Amino acid sequence: MVTAYFDKLRDDNDHTVYTEELITDVLNKIDLAQYEEVTDMPSSVVKDMLAEITSNLAPRLDNNQEQEILDFFEEILVEGKTEIPIIAKSLRYLLREDKSNKSALIVVDVQNDFISGALALQNSEEVVGVINTILEEHEFAGVFYSIDWHPEDHCSYITNVSKYNVDKTSPKSADEAQMFDKVIYNERKVLEQVMWPVHCQQGSEGAELHPDLNVVEGGMKIYKGQIPNVDSYSAFWDNGKLSRSELLGHLFDMDITHVFTCGLATDFCVGMTSLDSAEHGFDTFVLMDASRGVADESIDEMKAKMEKAGCELIDSSQIAEKMG
């Protein structure tokens, strides 16, 4: 794993503080921005970059290590474009001196429309009390609340399907599509889209977090689904990975190692957030008793995907032991 390689860069005599500013200066010095996409970056640049950042403490990279680092960079970028700020954050995170466990809780979409409104899920209000208890009993380094925040012309609304380019491969045309059908859009990218009722519209009461949910001091709200022509289930990315929220950068800044997810819905937004968390290398735990889903079949499918990706499906009573 790439993290194991970075662990080797520090030894007992290395007490360099690898700040984001220091790393950004190095990235600018070697003119990393000249490479529009990470895939354009020669492996020699990776070698030079790490040697410069670590003051020549880095051992010689083999081809596999070079590729692992390039792959890591590619996963955190938007459409492969080289973004110096997020690369600097990730390198600072990988080279941090304090490797102790730090946990974050991501509360996914516990909003009125998913509890008592347009897309109310069965027994969904039960998660509010469980999440509040979790927040009372455990101290997290970071708490995040993701919020669906759709414009009125959002592509997920059944009322808007005719406004978007439905691909010829779609199982349903714009005229045929009904609520909860899947269509295939061909907008910025060919993507499958479930047709939902109007929900979580920006500024509406339905888009607000449930009034009984404990929003802790210092908790951060992550707004998603704001781009009209692509949906966003995950709190990290939109569904086409065309844009990224600020969540990943915050997790790097806080030196988070363990991510706990919960909320609504298990088979969609909780699941996709968990998959992205695991993909980015965080130890990821899905709190099943603090989550509710749309349908048994899709819940089972998502649970299988999450477990395959390395997520652990646990009960909130196991949080303390998993925090380490």
- Residue 165, CA distances (Å) to 117, 170, 225 in order: 28, 10, 18
To the query of whether residue 172 is one of the catalytic residues in this protein, the response is no
d(CA 17, CA 66): 23
Q: How many helices (H) and strands (E) does the chain have?
A: 11, 8
Q: Which residues fall within 8 angstroms of residue 197, CB to CB, at 6 or more apart? A: 118, 119, 157, 158, 179
Say how far apart CA 183 and CA 263 lie, in whole Å.
26
Could you give the 3-state DSSP secondary structure of residue 292?
strand
Radius of gyration of the chain measured on its C-alpha atoms:
21
311 is catalytic: no
Active-site entry in 155, 224, 283, 311? 224
Find out whether 195 and 183 touch, Cβ atoms under 8 Å: yes
Residue indicated by tokens 């794993």: 1
* Cα end-to-end distance, the chain, whole Å: 21
Catalytically annotated residue among 155, 262, 269, 311: 269
Whose CA is closest to 316, among 101, 99, 100, 103?
103
Q: Closest Cα partner for 277 from 250, 296, 298? A: 250
Active site residue: 89, 109, 155, 231, which one?
Answer: 109
How far apart, in Å, are the Cα atoms of 315 and each of 261, 262, 263?
11, 10, 13
Element (H, E) at 169: none
Active site residue 224: yes
Query: Own/partner pairs for 90-93, CB < 8 Å, 24+ apart?
Result: 90/252, 91/18, 91/23, 91/53, 92/18, 92/19, 92/20, 92/23, 92/252, 93/252, 93/255
Which residue numbers are catalytic? Answer: 109, 224, 269
